[in-house]
Amino acid sequence: MNTPIQKILFGSPGTGKSHKIDSEIVPNQLKIDINKTPENVIKTVFHPEYTHGDFIGKLMPITRSGKVEYNFYEGHFLRALAQAYKNILKVHDKNGNQLDESEIENTVLIIDEINRGNSAAIFGSVFQLLDRDDQGWSNYYININEIAFIKILELIELSFTYDRNGEIDEKSLKTLQSKHKFLNFDFVNRTIKIPHNLSIIATMNTSDSSIYYMDSAFKRRWEWEFIDINSESICEKGTAFEDREQWISFIGKLNLFIKSNHKYVRGIEDKQIGHFFIKDKQIEKSTIQNKLMFFLWDSVFNRDKKPLINLLYGEDKKYHDELTTFGDFAKQVDTFIKAINEKYYV
């Protein structure tokens, strides 16, 4: 079974985030040879003028023989989604309706500068698809309009028929439904999911002053990897919590810490941590660093880092310059976990 990557690499400009994606993650982790299968790598860059239509697809006018016609052009996400489905179909057809998961090629959508566009507006309902199950498929589905749905069928080369009124023949869709249940979307009701062989990887410059706000719900649906100024990943080795029971106990204590510092937090209800903020059964220290600690740094105590400084070093002012960057904080993962566990009780 392919394990998708859904990650944002973040750090200062010029630290090699895009280079790491191209030279390490794509060829080594996803096993995509861009020279042999360039169609499996779809790239885009978010910016203030980038829209939902650019991401999903939009109608564009074209003049032919003096007449204006409108064609639907797929966006980057729709093209990546269709390519992933096409790779599944290719293996299914090759093996005579038998699906050998190990042969399915990965597809990746790479988004540079994800925080330079309005990600909430760009993703729209696709946001719901970012929650993945243990098999790598979206937990939930979304409905898409008929034009986008037809484009997907065209891109993955599935044929259907029209009735006398020029509308899609529902019988042909039901036939496709019965033959292609393994694609996990509903041909009749026009619903889709992200398949397990589609990864989405983005980059983000944390020091960019002209960025759009990314809400907590959006951030939670990604893994995070911090690249420091030396172009190295902050990924402490080792296990932080061996099971969900340890994690849930820790989260209870962490929420007490957040609530006890409520005067430093804007919107306290949205800033506490739920049990499924991290869904892994065994949670690594690197996940705590890059996802939980970054959330605390960037979203919970974004206005004032004093609670974090006091948690790690106490009231002694000589340590108040110890946490000037997120990299400083992330390196204190062991101290952070120990401090929460020892100072708070549930």
Residue 238's CB is within 10 A of a number of other CB atoms, namely 9
Q: Which of 260, 237, 222 is nearest to 339 (CA)?
A: 260
> How many domains does one find in the chain?
2
pTM: 0.88
Tell me the residue range of the domain where 57 lies: 6-200
Q: Do 183 and 54 belong to one domain?
A: yes
Q: Do 169 and 243 belong to one domain?
A: no
C-alpha to C-alpha distance for 258 and 271, rounded to whole angstroms: 8
Beta-bridge mates of residue 202 = 8, 111
Domain C-terminal end among 181, 200, 219: 200
For the stretch 159-183, pLDDT in tens is 877 777 777 778 888 888 888 888 8
Q: Do 94 and 35 belong to one domain?
A: yes
Instruction: Calculate ∠ Cα 213-217-223, nearest 5°.
Output: 95
24: Cα within 13 Å, side-chain hemisphere:
11
- The position carrying tokens 């970012």 is 130
For the stretch 42-76, pLDDT in tens is 999 999 999 999 999 998 888 887 888 888 899 99
Query: Is residue 230 one of the residues assigned to a domain?
Result: no
Q: Do 277 and 183 belong to one domain?
A: no
Give Cα separations from 249 to 97, 130, 200, 242 (angstroms).
47, 26, 31, 12
* Helix or strand (DSSP H, E) at 271: helix 268-271
Q: Do 10 and 97 belong to one domain?
A: yes
Question: For 3-26, what is the mean pLDDT?
Answer: 93
Q: Do 177 and 269 belong to one domain?
A: no
C-alpha to C-alpha distance for 311 and 313, rounded to whole angstroms: 6
Query: Is residue 103 one of the residues assigned to a domain?
Result: yes
